[in-house]
Amino acid sequence: MTVYKYFLKIALENKKSIMAYIIIFFIMSLLSSAGASQREAEFIETKLDIGIIDYSNDELSMELKKYLGGKNNIVDTKEDLEYIKEQIFLEMADAIIIIPENFQEKVINKENAIEIYNDERKIGSMGIQNQINKFLLFANATYENGKYNLADVDLALKENINVKLIDNNTAKNISINEWFRNYFNFTSYVIIGMYISIIGLVMADFTDENIEKRTKISSKKFLNFNKEIYLGQLTIAFIITSVFILGSIALKG
């Protein structure tokens, strides 16, 4: 096992490189997980600042304005396209909704009735379209004998979704699971880098001219020589991998 021992001896001469990899990686792992355990579970429904221009003023449009007003903050606006664009650009409003004339008739005919100007810089402003679609979906579901049952629409839209927040222990477990997943996703690249660095350095020594000459005149068979080289590589790989596995247990176990 002379070759095997010599392989390990050369590998351990690179202790500084090994420790540098390990220390840098563990510091990065600690920094990435520092805030994860302190996060709180919270659900907040965000209200948008919207303006509504109603050219129809029929029963359906009034109900729509009532619904949107309950879900959002209504801001004043003007019937002027340039002013509307300026309002959105200056973030005075997240969205402006224009309800056209004969709104109810257009909804019945399933025409594209409402015009929306929203702030594309804010993802939340896109949600106003979902609110309108939800209202129209419920309204169309109640349409019968030429009229809408707006009382049923209002009742359906007032149904609340009970959001149950997970308890702290469950949240902590999820956070730890997330940390371990990120850790091992990232550590695989580090481990491969260490394999290449350390084993590559050792193998470079074995290609030295003097070592090659000694190998040729040695009584050790070529097959046995390679077996001990492979065994040395596997040993180094096992040690490196074990260090990172034990490190994860020490950090979050």
Within-domain flag for 142: yes
CA dist., res. 144 & res. 129, Å (int): 25
What is the mean predicted confidence (pLDDT) over 208-231?
74
Q: Which two tokens stand for residue 132?
A: 């309108």
Output 12 or 227, whichever has higher pLDDT.
Answer: 227
Same-domain pairing of 135 and 210: no
**At which of 103, 134, 157 does a domain end?**
157
Same-domain pairing of 61 and 150: yes
Same-domain pairing of 202 and 104: no
We report the CATH number of the domain holding residue 103 as 3.40.1710.10
Number of domains in the chain: 2
For the stretch 119-140, pLDDT in tens is 888 777 778 888 888 888 888 8
Same-domain pairing of 54 and 33: no
**Which residues span the domain enclosing 77?**
49-157
Closest CA to 143 of 109, 176, 182: 109
**At which of 131, 157, 183 does a domain end?**
157
**At which of 157, 180, 196 does a domain end?**
157
Within-domain flag for 53: yes
Same-domain pairing of 33 and 66: no
Same-domain pairing of 193 and 236: yes
Closest CA to 153 of 98, 96, 107: 107
Enumerate the H helices of 2-126 as residue ranges: 2-12, 15-33, 59-71, 81-89, 103-108
Q: Give CA separation, 231 vs 175, 191, 196, 237, in Å.
A: 38, 18, 16, 10
For the stretch 24-81, pLDDT in tens is 776 776 666 555 444 444 445 678 888 999 898 888 888 889 888 888 888 898 888 8
Same-domain pairing of 6 and 55: no
